[in-house]
Amino acid sequence: MKILIIEDEKGLRESIEEYFTEAGNICETASTYAEAISKVSLYRYDCILLDITLPGGTGIEILKKVKENDHQDGILIISAKNSLDDRLQGLDLGADDYLVKPFHLSELRARVMAIIRRKNFSGNNLLQFHELTIDLLAKSVKVKNQAIRLTRKEYALLLYFIANKGKVVSKNAIAEHLWGDGIDMANNFDFIYSHIKNLRKKLIEGGCGDYIHASYGMGYKFTDQ
Amino acid sequence: MKLLARYNRVTLVTTVIMMLITGIIYYFTISLILTDDIDKDLEVEENEIFEYVAKNNQLPQVFESNDQQISFSEATQGAIKRYYIDTVYKKSEVHRRHRRRHEEYESGRALISSVSAGGKYYRVAIVKSTVETEDLLKIIFGITIGVILLLLLALFTANRLLLNRLWQPFHNLLKELRSFSISDNKTIPEPDTNIDEFKELNHAVAAMSSKVKKDYKELKTFTENASHELLTPIAVINSKLDSLLQTENFSQQQSKLLNDLYTSVSRLTRLNQSLLLLVKIENRLVDGDEEIDLKPIVEELLAQFEEIFNDKGLKVTFTGVDKTLKANRYLIDVLLNNLLSNAIRHNITGGQIVVTLTADSLVIRNTGDDTPLQSDELFKRFHKSSSSEGSGLGLTIAQQICENLGFGLNYQFVNGLHTFTAKF
């Protein structure tokens, strides 16, 4: 997949680029409005990560330009401007999603994958990972054609893992993804552990490989290696 | 004491005293003048007697007329000194109807003098009734008292009417000040008066309020900008931590350090977002009302937190009726989330949370510390218990949202349960 990262903050841009760069992915970056405009008018991307405040112009202008030309690029706005107006304006203008800074890279990736999946829908709503088949429409999971019953949160967790496969996902990121802002009132993340244990048990009992690995007590990694 | 009452008291008392003093001076002056007048009359009479005696060398016939009596009595040679005296005038007259003499005593003025006639020395007493003078004085006194009373009444009424009208701009200003809110954009209107003092007062208040508003606005802008500027570095730290996590091969110590970092960064993030949110709500920048069915939202939120309830062993009960509101969905979400978070955060392991939704209120009760909390401190910014891991802004935000939505939010400690009630 081909991704364009439009972000003026160097540290953030590099981190995102690094996180997305892997075999089969092409990551390009733009740090100014002019650079971004020239890239979006020349090339097409599966997903554009778009910062709103840029030197030389705003991300909203870039978004308008892409939509004016009827390009089908997925667009995810990443912005520090956590105002509802901005979010609504962005989504009204045709952005696919809106993520507020600061965010976890795993969350960003899950959102990007969701956008790309929607874009490349083409009648195929099945997500495949080895013997795992996930029906995104029916929200059902099958292992070797045997359905396994997951709770809503377990299902969301599995999707999150698959979107971030091969990456270590921190407990904080998982907690925030599943429980949202309310999560900080938990004393610790032990309940995440039990949650992941349940998911893992269900998958293994259903005949799936053991893909979820704890990583140094900081997070988890979904990998087939 | 009202200014009017005070003013009235002072002016009226002063007026009464002044009028009394004037009356007294008036009384004495006039009575002096009148006495002087009578004395002159007496002197004229005396002179007539002297002339008569000089001409006839005998005493004139004593007669009574014109409220005047003259009497002679023999006296030792040279014993009488001439003087005036206030005395009693014995008035006797024949009552026409009763045909008998009728005596009456009136106040009088007398001139005691002496005359020699026919080789004899006489004491002369000329007495004149002063009843008319007294009557005159009485009338003058009466008129004075009447004028005082009339003046008092007039002053009282005029003060009342005039002062009430004069102070109208002041009362208007007071009303403005009472409804003064630091966060709205209303300015103090120009007063409808041409009284300089009120104009000045109004200008001073208007200048003060606009300065306060400006400072407050700047402070808020500062908070917003500061929070905003912090977002980017926090975002970078966050993403770098995520990147660092990918390098793997950490020792146990390193992973513990990383965990602590993650926790702190996420607290920082939440604190920052809470500040931004608070500024936004205070500025009433979140709008867009919609019809909201509260019950399913509460139920959904409780389901969302299920794992956290289980983790802390909390027993949660919810009873509710269908309740629809017209409000901003985002604010309602934040409100419910904050109130519920509060109930979870300050709960004890194995405690309980009771959520009750009625047609006019949402009540969240939770177990926790056995001591009631200070309800006026509770909603202040950054007020939190020492053990709390929260931002200290949750309840402040909840209260501000309630204020925006026109709800009342209050805290009570009832039957060992910390009770938060949002009244719709």
**B34-59: per-residue pLDDT in tens?**
889 888 988 998 898 888 888 888 88
Domain boundary at A73, A96, A119, which? A119
Q: Which residues contact B211 (CB under 8 A, 6 or more apart)?
A: none
Query: Using 50, 70 and 90 to split pLDDT, how confident is the model at A183?
Result: low
CB contact under 8 A, A82 and B276: yes
Q: Are residues A49 and A91 in the same domain?
A: yes
Q: Which of A157-171, B234-248, B279-293, B331-345 is predicted with the least confidence, judged by mean pLDDT?
A: B279-293
Q: Are residues A89 and A165 in the same domain?
A: no
Strand duo A47-51 + A74-79: pairing:
parallel
Count of other CB atoms within 10 angstroms of residue B296: 11
Query: Using 50, 70 and 90 to split pLDDT, how confident is the model at B183?
Result: confident
CB contact under 8 A, B266 and A184: yes
B144-169, pLDDT tens digit by residue? Answer: 788 888 888 888 888 888 877 888 88
CATH number at residue A51: 3.40.50.2300
pLDDT at A10: 92
Q: Are residues A215 and A130 in the same domain?
A: yes
A129 in contact with chain B, both atoms CB, cutoff 8 A:
no
Given a cut of 60, is residue A186 above it in pLDDT? no
Given a cut of 60, is residue B96 above it in pLDDT? no
A76-98 in b/e burial notation, b at 16+ Cβ within 10 A?
bbbbbbbeeebbebbeeeebbbb
Q: Which residues pair with B320 in a beta bridge?
A: B357
Pick the residue of B245, B280, B344 with the most A CBs within 10 A to test the interface with A by mutation.
B245
Q: Which of A113, A118, A198, A189 is nearest to A155 (CA)?
A: A198
Please report the domains of chain B, with CATH numbers, ordered by start residue: 3-163 (no CATH), 198-282 (1.10.287), 290-423 (3.30.565.10)
Domain boundary at A88, A119, A150, which? A119
Q: Which of A118-122, B284-288, B385-389 is predicted with the least confidence, judged by mean pLDDT?
A: B385-389
Q: Are residues A113 and A131 in the same domain?
A: no
Handedness of CA B401, B407, B410, B416 (dihedral sign): negative
B326-362, pLDDT tens digit by residue? Answer: 888 888 988 998 899 888 888 888 899 999 999 889 9
The more confidently predicted of residues A152 and A5 is A5
CA within 13 Å, CB half, B245: 33
Count of other CB atoms within 10 angstroms of residue B334: 21
DSSP letters along B27-82, please?
HHHHHHHHHHHHHHHHHHHHHHHHHHHHHHSSPPPP-EETTEEEEEEE--TT----
Query: Using 50, 70 and 90 to split pLDDT, how confident is the model at B101?
Result: low
Given a cut of 90, is residue B375 above it in pLDDT? no
Domain boundary at A119, A153, A171, which? A119
Given a cut of 70, is residue B64 above it in pLDDT? no
Q: Are residues A107 and A16 in the same domain?
A: yes
Q: Are residues A181 and A142 in the same domain?
A: yes
Q: What is the mean pLDDT of residues A21-32?
A: 89
Place of tokens 């009485």: B138
Q: Which residues contact A56 (CB under 8 A, 6 or more apart)?
A: A32, A33, A34
* DSSP H stretches of helix in chain A: 10-20, 33-42, 59-68, 84-92, 105-119, 152-163, 171-179, 190-205
Q: Are residues A58 and A142 in the same domain?
A: no
CB contact under 8 A, B389 and A184: yes
Q: Are residues A155 and A74 in the same domain?
A: no
Phi/psi for B8 (5° steps) reads -60, -45
Return d(Cα A107, Cα A170) in angstroms, integer: 10
Given a cut of 80, is residue B78 above it in pLDDT? no
Q: Residue A99, SS3?
A: strand
Q: Are residues A106 and A192 in the same domain?
A: no
**For chains A and B, what is the number of CB pairs under 8 angstroms?**
135
* Chain B contacts in chain A segment 43-62 (CB below 8 A): none
Q: Are residues A50 and A104 in the same domain?
A: yes
Q: Which H or E element spans position B334?
A: helix B329-345
Give pTM, 2 decimals. 0.68
CB contact under 8 A, A11 and B269: no
A77 in contact with chain B, both atoms CB, cutoff 8 A:
no
* pLDDT over 90, % of chain B: 9
CA B24 to chain CA centroid, Å, is 40
CB contact under 8 A, A80 and B235: yes
* pLDDT over 70, % of chain A: 92
Domain tally for chain A? 2
Q: Which residues contact A196 (CB under 8 A, 6 or more apart)?
A: A157, A174, A212, A220
CATH number at residue A192: 1.10.10.10
Q: Which of B339, B319, B312 is nearest to B396 (CA)?
A: B339
Q: Are residues A15 and A106 in the same domain?
A: yes
**Is there a cis peptide before residue A102, judged by omega within 30 degrees of 0?**
yes
Range of the domain at A147: 126-222
CA within 13 Å, CB half, B176: 19
Q: Are residues A78 and A23 in the same domain?
A: yes
